[in-house]
Amino acid sequence: MPSLSERTRWCPPEKSPVLAAFEERCRKAKQQPFLDETLMDEREIACSWSDFKRPLLRRYNLQGSLIFIDVVGYGVDGIVWRVEVDCRIMALKVFWDNEAPEKATQYWALQRECQNASLLQMIQFVTENYPDSIWLKPNPRTFPDATPHDPASARAASMARPQSSPILAQLRSAKTYPEQTAALQALKNEIVGHIQKKEAWIGFGVLEPIVLTLSASRSPAKPNGKDARTQLVSRPLSDEDSVKLQALQLVASFANGGPAFLAPVHAAGVVPAILANTCPLSNPPQLVVAALRALTDIADAAALAQPSSPLDTSSLADNVFSPQNMEALNVMLSISSPKHMLQSQVNLASGLISRLCREEKHQHALTTAGVLDSLATQLARFAVRDGLVVPGAEEHAYADGLYEVFPEPASANAKIGPILEAIAAILGDSKYRSNRLVYSPSLMAVFPSVKFETAESYGPQQAAALTAMDYILPSMPVTGTRNQSGPQSSFPTPDRSDSRTSSRASLSRFSSAAVWDSPRNQSSGNGSDTATEDIESPLIPWLIHLSRTLAEYDRLMAAAVIAALFKAGLGRKATRETSIGFLVVPILVGMVERNDKDGAELEAPVNVTQQLILETAPAVLARLITDSEFLQKAAYDCDAVKVLTKLLRRAYQPVPEIDQPKYWSPQSDTGMDDESTPAMAQLGAKGQNPLLAHRMKLREASLRAIGALAAGKEDYRKAFVAEDFVPYVVESLCEFPRKPKQVKERSKDKQGADAGRKGPSPAYGSNPVSVIIAACHVVRMLARSVSVLRTALVDYGVALPIFQFMTHRDVNVQIAATATVINLVVEVSPVRELLTESGVMKVLCEHAHSDNPALRLNALWALKHLVDAVGPELKKACLQQLEPGWLVQLICDDTQDTALYNSRLKEAAGDDFDEDMDMQPLDEPLRWLYGSNGSIRELDASRSTKLRQAEDKLSAIREAELNPMRRARNDDIAIQEQGLDFIRNLIGRPESGASSETPSETTEMIDYLFTELGQDRLFEILASKLRSRMLHPFSRRTSTSGREQRVLHPQAKIIVAVIYILVHMAASIPRHRQLVIAQTELLKLLAQQASSKDREVRVALCHLVINLTWQEDDAEAQQCAARAAELKRLGFHSKMESLKLQDRDLDVRERAKTAAWQIEQATY
């Protein structure tokens, strides 16, 4: 029993349940968000009951300076100041508490005031925009008392058909501009924030009168010079301008309704009407901004449109990027004024370019029209503003004739992110456009490529390669071993450099010609052939500095431009690869990791910037690390494997269905969209779920980054498999994905899963072509690992889905699937037999006859692997199905250049350019445009040495990249290489212990090839590959007469392929060696290649000499001596002696030593 003191001790009373519940409600209330990052602009305000229950205060758009006048008063919550903003007196309240008070029942003043202000804004918006009187009960006591009187009647009035509203009559009967403005204003107030009213008004064809008001009634002359600057200054709107402003805001409001409104917008001709009001030289700034916002809203809706929509991103871009409209874009992008309305034009125009510029034809058109130069000038302004101009840049600009294009500093309110994003969109994968950016006049003026002499913290050897901008970056360690290959599997995978070795000393150890990556896909810009005398542009280290110092979105766009420039070969690889690996790659991986938060996608409002980062950062990372072992390791060390696999798993989280609210209407909707209704009065198909569309982009981006990293070392591929991500790759190979499942789960409901995939699931959607292609690439990279190929890829059965995609309706999917099959039909693949039984040979032979060069290349490549190390019967069947005549045609050089050009011109034009788009001839001089505040002029390159030098370099790059004949020739060279390797693998490797008395499969296949292709014809084809050719010049718009002819020397990879065919023949029986030595003309051509710069050519030549001087037994001694004497007569002995003493490569020296010794032994 407790003591008296214990019984009488005071204890606080227990908290009542009512008070505890109240305190819990208070705590939850203070955790509710109350701020919205969107700006307080002229757009509509959401005013549903849910918005009233959880009000969010939008950010005030401060356009001018803020001046504190005096204190109005202060109290418990904070202090109130009287301030002046843009000549307007306002009250500014500053709160004491930035965080919620700990006491549960104490309100948070900052939250309470923001919520009240938001509620007042919504009440004001509703009362001002409601089309009729609002009747309220006096002295309301309950919630129903506070609602409008007679709710049914009020809703019926608000939801009635538009023909019963006086607005429609007012709109149709308006005769003056003020009447039109009033009618359009009333209509805007009617539909803003109300989706069903928008649908109803569309049903009655309201777009037609709106478009009529946007049609220009005047065509003023475009001002130039000082007139242009005057025109850009804000002025009062005329009555006609006010009408157009209301009409543009109405169009933007309709576009905000989503993809369903695109069909009537397209039918009514809204886009051309908007574009007629975008020129800043003939329209006031308010009108231009409204037009750009309307186009932006239409572009956002088009991004979510179904494939059947008549207005998609591509068709909208065709309209926006016409020559006339690109002139308007140049004017907008020349603005440097700090006025908010003018700066908005720069931001909106840049955003429109980044949204729409996705195709090669549009990227090329924007570059030709000077838009890229205008964006470069805007970018240079930020360097001037921040004081990060190369020291002495103005003096160099004077000396180089570029001072007139030295840009003004950017204004304080200018945004660099949209500029960088637009530049990245235009650059794409083009080396020419990347160089065009670097050599833009404004950037050359601000960032002259000059050495920076002072280098106290760097060694003299390193400092010689540095510019002034490098000193704003942290000092980088010199990593001399990064180009060395890391530890590899002991298994001789075909991507090993010695896989081509086929001499007697190594034929039994390695497989035949089999390489993994297409020569087309290898980076051509980052090699060591960059001219050492060129100094790197300081633009690149400045962009790296931006990627380290800007905010998330801005630094991501800086990294995107860096990736484009780096992959184009700009910058010194040794220095720049290190700085990118240490400074940029960790930032990209960290951005993905920070923004990949659980539940963030379901928050309201949607964080658009966060979604953009997750969609873009992995793609930029993939582009940077592709074909770079050092950058792949940098990404791997930053835990990119875990970050990317987590992102891929997020992309397959089920998406909740969106329940569209069902609004009551007093009239039936039946019969609205019948056949008699005009197209402009009918809504189109609903678009994609925005969250599901975001998930699709996440799938593609994460898969691309995974594929780029998995292309590296074996350890990376094993790390990915250890993260258990293969089920997500498998679902990405399905057009209609479902929840990813493990192997055990897949085996249980395999039949049910296959039967239920007749269409897309609302939770997982339908994988677009881009996701399927990215998944195919991941499988191809994983298949490089023999262990992964034999375990995970077999367990999840990826072979048959890949095989099915080889006959997909989209040719790009066929190309990707065929490229994946290349690695699935190698000798060590466990699915090779399965694919063969499924008919992969037939499909590959059909693809080898395709008109598409990429598909033809991959098909031949896969066939080359398929016939390696198989029996003669399968090899013969493959050759017959491919057709010997077609194989000869693929590897021949008989086609004349003009005929080749004509046959490929239509295909090249169809793939990359629009026939209706004005293409700049390749031999036309480049145009340099410079603009400042609306004044656009063309620069005279003859006045600047730098511009003339840039023109020469850019012309050569442009011709190499855009010339269709050159591109067709490069395609043919890659195909010829695979065709020759196919012949080599048809011959195969001789079995150990084979002799002239026991004919081997190799001997049988050589004789079979001679029968099918013709012995003399085959040797003549091989000889033709080693001869130089005269190229007949051909221009699209000029005659060929009088133009200088060029010589095309044989390509090293073709020479290697030819030599190894002869190596395999010489590795057969003595009769075949005698046939080879009898080809005197062919051997003379080969002897010239002993001094080739390519190591593989010299190694292959040594193998050929070794095999030709091989003596099977004593009976062959006389023939061997005769072959050695012939080789000696042709000069091979002296060349081997030279190689064994002077060649810089150890392997070449050792092989040459063996070859020279065998010649000497045979001739003694």
* pLDDT tens digit sequence for 599-652: 766 666 678 999 999 999 999 999 999 999 999 999 999 999 999 999 999 999
Name the band, by pLDDT with cuts 50, 70 and 90, for residue 1030.
confident
- pLDDT value, residue 744: 81
Name the band, by pLDDT with cuts 50, 70 and 90, for residue 457.
very low
Residue 922 has pLDDT above 50, yes or no: yes
Determine the distance from the C-alpha atom of residue 961 to the mean position of all C-alpha atoms in its chain, rounded to a whole number.
19
Q: Two tokens at 804?
A: 């099915």
The closest alpha carbon to 986, from 910, 1093, 915, 1064, belongs to: 1064
Residue 360 has pLDDT above 80, yes or no: yes
Q: Which residues 6+ apart lie within 8 Å of 29 measured at CB?
A: none
For the chain, how far is it from start to end, CA to CA, in angstroms? 121
User: 963-967 long-range contacts, Cβ below 8 Å, gap at least 24?
Assistant: 963/922, 964/901, 964/904, 964/905, 964/908, 964/909, 965/897, 965/900, 965/901, 965/904, 965/1034, 967/904, 967/908
Residue 1031 has pLDDT above 80, yes or no: no
Residue 65 has pLDDT above 70, yes or no: no
Most confident range, picked from 388-397, 1039-1048, 1055-1064: 1055-1064
- Dump pLDDT digits (tens) for 886-901: 999 999 854 444 444 4
The identity of residue 992, as a single letter, is S
- How far is residue 1090's CA from residue 1104's CA, in Å, rounded to a whole number? 12
Cα 935–Cα 937–Cα 938 angle in degrees, nearest 5 = 165
Name the H helices within 176-261: 177-191, 195-203, 207-214, 226-232, 239-255
Lowest mean pLDDT among 406-420, 441-455, 958-972: 441-455
- Dump pLDDT digits (tens) for 253-273: 999 999 999 999 999 999 999
How many percent of the chain have pLDDT more than 90? Answer: 55
The stretch 330-359 carries a mean pLDDT of 94
How many percent of the chain have pLDDT more than 70? Answer: 78
The closest alpha carbon to 342, from 410, 286, 296, 383, belongs to: 286
**pTM check: above 0.75:** yes
- pLDDT value, residue 173: 82
Residue 904 has pLDDT above 90, yes or no: no
Name the band, by pLDDT with cuts 50, 70 and 90, for residue 812.
very high
The closest alpha carbon to 194, from 95, 297, 91, 47, belongs to: 47
From the CB of residue 747, how many other CB atoms can be counted at a distance below 10 Å?
Answer: 11
Name the band, by pLDDT with cuts 50, 70 and 90, for residue 583.
very high
Name the band, by pLDDT with cuts 50, 70 and 90, for residue 1103.
very high
Lowest mean pLDDT among 369-373, 898-902, 1101-1105, 1145-1149: 898-902
Q: Which residues 6+ apart lie within 8 Å of 480 measured at CB?
A: none
Q: Could you give the angle at which helices 552-567 and 431-438 cross, rounded to 10 degrees?
A: 110
Residue 671 has pLDDT above 50, yes or no: no
Residue 1159 has pLDDT above 90, yes or no: yes
Name the band, by pLDDT with cuts 50, 70 and 90, for residue 48.
low
The closest alpha carbon to 342, from 395, 285, 301, 266, belongs to: 285
The stretch 558-573 carries a mean pLDDT of 93
- Dump pLDDT digits (tens) for 725-748: 999 999 999 999 999 998 888 766
Instruction: Catalogue the E-assigned strands of 104-223.
Output: none
Token pair 């019963």 is found at 164
- How far is residue 769's CA from residue 864's CA, in Å, rounded to a whole number? 27
- Dump pLDDT digits (tens) for 208-243: 889 988 875 555 445 555 555 555 656 688 999 999
C-alpha atoms less than 13 angstroms from C-alpha of 763 in its C-beta half-sphere: 8
Domain 1003-1164 annotated CATH 1.25.10.10:
yes
The identity of residue 391, as a single letter, is P
- How far is residue 967's CA from residue 972's CA, in Å, rounded to a whole number? 9
Query: What torsion, rounded to 10 degrees, do the Cα atoms 109, 115, 116, 118 define?
Result: 140
Who wins on pLDDT, 525 or 1162?
A: 1162
Burial 570-601 (b: 16+ CB within 10 A, else e): bbbbbbbbbbbbbbbbbbbbebbbebbeeeeb
- How far is residue 136's CA from residue 143's CA, in Å, rounded to a whole number? 12
- Rg (C-alpha) for the chain, rounded Å, is 36
- pLDDT value, residue 912: 45
How would you classify the pairing of strands 1029-1031 and 935-938?
unpaired
- pLDDT value, residue 991: 66
Q: Please identify, in words, the CATH class of the domain defined by 170-215+238-320.
A: mainly alpha
Q: Which residues 6+ apart lie within 8 Å of 356 measured at CB?
A: 299, 313, 316, 317, 320, 321, 362
How would you classify the pairing of strands 57-59 and 35-39?
parallel
The closest alpha carbon to 1106, from 1055, 1053, 1153, belongs to: 1153
Q: In which residue ranges of the chain is CATH 1.25.10.10 found? A: 170-215+238-320, 1003-1164
- How far is residue 819's CA from residue 596's CA, in Å, rounded to a whole number? 32
Who wins on pLDDT, 758 or 1038?
A: 758
Token pair 């790296």 is found at 544
The stretch 976-1001 carries a mean pLDDT of 79
Token pair 């009551």 is found at 664
Name the band, by pLDDT with cuts 50, 70 and 90, for residue 41.
low
- How far is residue 429's CA from residue 1095's CA, in Å, rounded to a whole number? 29
Residue 716 has pLDDT above 90, yes or no: yes
